[in-house]
């Protein structure tokens, strides 16, 4: 085998490879000898078919297999000798002249082809002790616990239908349909055919619930509210909206007091035990949010600390995956990029940056894991699978079967677990400083992080 490098530019490589015809014929003879004991041809006893006859019958087909095996072996051998790792499957280019290919298949000519590929870049890992992290610390105030306790109370009481002549009172659970408009135009997310609401829970826009008090079943009413200036959707923040509301049904709570008896209905010893459980859940949620914020800081630091060129092949693949989902969402909702406050050109540039960052970070995370022998245990993978299955209530068995039948999908579950373990490893070594923040501010930080590289969800099930 003869290998000549014809391109060495950045991460791009191109090799010209020639495998002598005599090597191919030798491989072909070995393959035909192997077929000799298996071939069943009319007129010959099993195992007694002459090699020359086998060559006449199966020669070209067998040579095609031989060529493919020889190509794969030569590419692997060439990369190993050069101590290179291909970023993606190398591209093989054959001569365009069919007559030349025919001669190779007949064993009368050398097999010559080009191999084009990109290599994975080599880079030095940064000193993780230089990574600086603000560790968000949120104090849980007593009034916040009481607010959450009230929410648990409202959401877990039993209800019974009110009489048709009854009117809405504070604490009632309502079924309603509504259509919201801003400046006379219906806006996305502002309508529902059948929503549920507990009056006094504060779940809807401030001022909405209070305007429902006094309504009767079947009544229609216009509710006018103004979205808060810090509303999580910037397109709606600070704007006045009018909701045409139709009241479908009214349910009154059976239990009207938050006390020990209510706590016992939830399996708690008394109200104080329920209060502590609620506080524990709040603390757990805040810890999860804190880890999410720390992860973003770690990934940002790794991105900033490892500036190298990512293989364009991988970047293009990642961008295509992102862009297909973006354009699908745009078309699915009958919108345009202008409706989203951007242009296709700007959106492409944004997602190309996200794709490049993802690829580079993926390589960095993989290198950190390899260098520090970080692995995903089978138990951790099973936990990830269970968590994924639980995301689809009522479809658990179908989702489980999907993953059981698709090893590639299971690998997709392994990747985020591995990434989180690497992030935790770096975070342990990083220079962390506790920083007190409010729960609202922490939520806004995370929301901003997600908005910076927001990509539509891909639904696999």
Model confidence over 281-327: pLDDT tens digits? 999 999 999 999 999 999 999 999 999 999 999 999 999 999 999 99
Reduced to 3 states (helix: H, G, I; strand: E, B; else coil), residue 137 is strand
| pLDDT more than 90, % of the chain | 66
DSSP state, residue 86:
B
How big is the chain, counted in residues? Answer: 461
User: For residue 459, what pLDDT is reported?
Assistant: 39
Decide if 153 contacts 258 (C-beta within 8 A): yes
CB atoms within 10 A of CB 362: 15
Is 298 in contact with 135 (CB distance < 8 Å)?
Answer: no
**Model confidence pLDDT, tens digit, residues 235-286:** 888 999 999 999 999 999 887 789 999 999 899 999 999 999 999 999 999 9
Spatial CA neighbour of 300 closest among 414, 426, 413: 426
The predicted-structure confidence for 321-343, as pLDDT tens digits, reads as follows 999 999 988 888 788 888 778 89
Contact 21, 108 (CB under 8 A): yes
> Which 3 state secondary structure label does DSSP give 253?
strand
Checking if the pLDDT of 400 tops 70, the result is yes
Q: Phi/psi of residue 335, each to 5°?
A: -115, 180
Going along the chain from its start, the domains and CATH numbers come out as 2-118 (3.30.70.1050), 158-254 (3.10.50.40), 282-452 (1.10.3120.10)
């Amino acid at each position: 085998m003869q290998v000549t490098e014809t391109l060495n530019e950045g991460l791009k490589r191109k090799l010209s490879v020639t495998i002598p015809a005599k090597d191919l014929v030798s491989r072909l003879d070995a393959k035909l000898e192997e077929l000799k004991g298996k071939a069943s041809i009319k007129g010959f006893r099993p195992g007694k078919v002459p090699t020359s006859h086998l060559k006449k019958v199966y020669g070209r087909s067998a040579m095609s297999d031989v060529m493919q095996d020889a190509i794969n072996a030569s590419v692997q051998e060439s990369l190993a000798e050069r101590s290179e790792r291909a970023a993606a499957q190398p591209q093989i280019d054959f001569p365009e002249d069919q007559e030349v290919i025919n001669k190779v298949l007949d064993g009368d000519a050398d097999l010559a082809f080009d191999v084009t590929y990109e290599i994975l870049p080599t880079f030095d890992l940064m000193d993780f002790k230089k990574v600086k992290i603000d560790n968000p610390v949120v104090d849980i105030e007593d009034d916040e616990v009481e607010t959450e306790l009230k929410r648990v109370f409202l959401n877990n009481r039993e209800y019974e239908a009110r009489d048709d002549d009854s009117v809405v009172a504070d604490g009632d659970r309502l079924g309603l349909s509504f259509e919201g408009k801003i400046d006379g135009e219906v806006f996305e997310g502002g309508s529902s055919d059948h929503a549920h609401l507990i009056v006094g829970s504060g779940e809807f826009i401030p001022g909405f619930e209070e305007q429902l008090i006094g309504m009767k079943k079947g009544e229609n009413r216009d509710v006018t509210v103004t979205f808060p200036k810090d509303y999580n959707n910037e397109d709606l923040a600070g704007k006045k909206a009018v909701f045409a509301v139709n009241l479908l049904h009214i349910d009154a709570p059976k239990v009207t007091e938050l006390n020990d008896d209510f706590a016992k209905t939830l399996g708690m010893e008394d109200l104080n035990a329920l209060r502590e459980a609620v506080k524990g859940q709040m603390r757990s949620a805040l810890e999860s949010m804190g880890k999410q914020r720390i992860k973003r800081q770690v990934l940002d630091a790794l991105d900033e600390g490892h500036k190298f060129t990512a293989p364009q092949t991988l970047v293009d693949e990642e961008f295509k995956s992102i862009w297909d989902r973006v354009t699908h969402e745009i078309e699915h909702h009958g919108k345009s990029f202008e409706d989203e406050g951007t242009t296709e050109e700007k959106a492409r540039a944004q997602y190309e940056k996200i794709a490049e960052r993802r690829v580079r970070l993926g390589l960095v995370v993989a290198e950190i894991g390899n260098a520090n022998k970080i692995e995903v245990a089978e138990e951790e993978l099973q936990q990830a699978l269970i968590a994924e299955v639980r995301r689809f209530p009522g479809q658990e068995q179908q989702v489980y079967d999907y993953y059981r039948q698709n090893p590639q999908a299971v690998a997709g579950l392994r990747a985020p677990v591995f990434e989180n373990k690497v992030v935790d490893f770096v975070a342990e070594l990083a220079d962390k400083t506790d920083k007190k923040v409010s729960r609202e501010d922490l939520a806004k930080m995370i929301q901003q992080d997600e908005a910076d590289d927001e990509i539509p969800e891909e639904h696999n099930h």
